[in-house]
Structure 1
Amino acid sequence: MHMTVISGSERRRRWSAAEREEIVLASFAPGAVIAEVARQFDVSTSLIYKWRRDAQQSAAMFVPAVVAEDEGSLVPDVPGGVLADSPAIRLDLAGGTTMSIAATAPARLVLAVLRALR
């Protein structure tokens, strides 16, 4: 069993921004279990949840939106292969994955996808 002993007047551990980022990214990995990530990095699960909330609310998590027009190309996973000449939402996700939502997509579908990505 691993135990961390902190000596001296300082009783709290300090996490650098890079360490926090590494832990938060590990917690967002597909199939990640927060309790396992917490054990792996020897940190409290509640602290990971706090860092995740902070990261999601931070302006640093946002990237600039780019409007792209790919005339004649098909938007993947849209029934009927809707042409991308209409406006669409294109999301660049971690790992180089790209997701596009056609302008003709039902509002409930768009809302569900955006909530799932929170």
Structure 2
Amino acid sequence: MHMTVISGPERRRRWTATEREEIVLASFAPGAVVAEVARQFDVSTSLIYQWRRSAQQSEAMFVPAVATEDEGPVAAAVSGDVLSDSPAIRLELAGGTTVRIAATAPARLVMAVLRALR
């Protein structure tokens, strides 16, 4: 009787939260193709889509942030007034659109804007 013993890593791979985040961010990059990202990281495309859905449904989804110098006054979205030299959250969207939210904006307003941009 002949028996083959397969040794090495277990059949089911485990992905750390950091690895998942890296893969999901790569799949959301402008111009990224999920199939290519899957080949790059040697992971199933369906698993990437599952992780993406999970990340989008999460209330506490975070994205990388970069601190930059203020580029001038922040326009208030509601009244059209200009707030001089106030800190702000600046979001750069696809197509060159920029959304700025004053640091003094109420948390409920910030959450509403971020949910609308999802």
What's the TM-score, normalizing by structure 2?
0.51
* Structure 1 residue identity aligned to 2:18: A
Corresponding residue for 2:106?
none
Deviations 1:9-51, CA, capped at 9 Å, x for gaps: 9421111111100000111111111111000000111110110
- 2:60 match: secondary structure: helix
Kindly tell me: are residues 9 and 44 of structure 1, through their superposed partners in 2, closer, same or farther at Cα, counting changes over 3 Å? Answer: closer
Corresponding residue for 1:47?
47
Contact preservation (8 Å) 1:24, 1:48: yes
The separation in 2 between residues aligned to 1:36 and 1:9, in whole angstroms, is 24
* Structure 2 residue identity aligned to 1:92: L
Pair 1:36 & 2:11 matched: no
1:63-102 matches, within 5 Å, as 73=73, 75=75, 83-84=81-82, 91-92=90-91, 98-100=98-100
Contact preservation (8 Å) 1:91, 1:100: yes
The separation in 1 between residues aligned to 2:9 and 2:24, in whole angstroms, is 28
Question: Which runs of no fewer than 5 residues in structure 2 stay unpaired?
Answer: 1-5, 64-71, 84-88, 102-114
User: How well do the aligned residues superpose, as a CA RMSD in angstroms?
Assistant: 4.1
Deviations 1:39-87, CA, capped at 9 Å, x for gaps: 0000111110110110111122058xxxxxxxx9364xxxxxx5445xx
Contact preservation (8 Å) 2:74, 2:100: no
Percent of pairs identical after alignment? Answer: 71
The separation in 1 between residues aligned to 2:9 and 2:49, in whole angstroms, is 27
Contact preservation (8 Å) 2:55, 2:61: yes
